[in-house]
């Protein structure tokens, strides 16, 4: 299914404002990816949650290095 970022533009804008103001450590791309995964999988909650988990795991692996 092709992604249509325009359709969730307003939604992303709201999240981006919060992220930029209060949580700048979190990359905007991560939030955008989670939103698109959730948008495309509204009919398949399991798939949406698996992708979200994977995206956050990847981010944490890159951000918090093992000693």
For residue 33, the minimal CB distance to other proteins (Å) is: 11
Q: Which residues make Cβ contacts (< 8 Å) with residue 26, sequence separation at least 6?
A: 19
DSSP secondary structure code for residue 6 in this structure: G
**Cα–Cα dist 9/27, whole Å:** 17
For other proteins (CB under 8 A), the number of binding residues is 39
x/- track of binding to other proteins for residues 36-65 (CB under 8 A): --xxx-xxxx--xx--xx--xx-xx--xx-
DSSP secondary structure code for residue 26 in this structure: S
Pick the closest to residue 63 from 39, 29, 40 (CA basis).
29
Binding site for other proteins (CB under 8 A): 1-2, 4, 7-8, 10-11, 14-15, 17-19, 22-23, 25-26, 30-31, 34-35, 38-40, 42-45, 48-49, 52-53, 56-57, 59-60, 63-64, 66-67
């Amino acid at each position: 299914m092709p992604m249509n970022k325009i359709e969730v533009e307003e939604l992303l804008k709201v999240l981006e404002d919060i992220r930029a103001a209060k949580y700048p450590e979190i990359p905007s791309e991560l939030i955008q990816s989670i939103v698109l995964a959730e948008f495309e999988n509204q009919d398949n909650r399991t798939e949406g949650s698996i992708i979200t988990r994977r995206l956050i795991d990847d981010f944490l692996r890159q951000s918090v290095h093992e000693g």
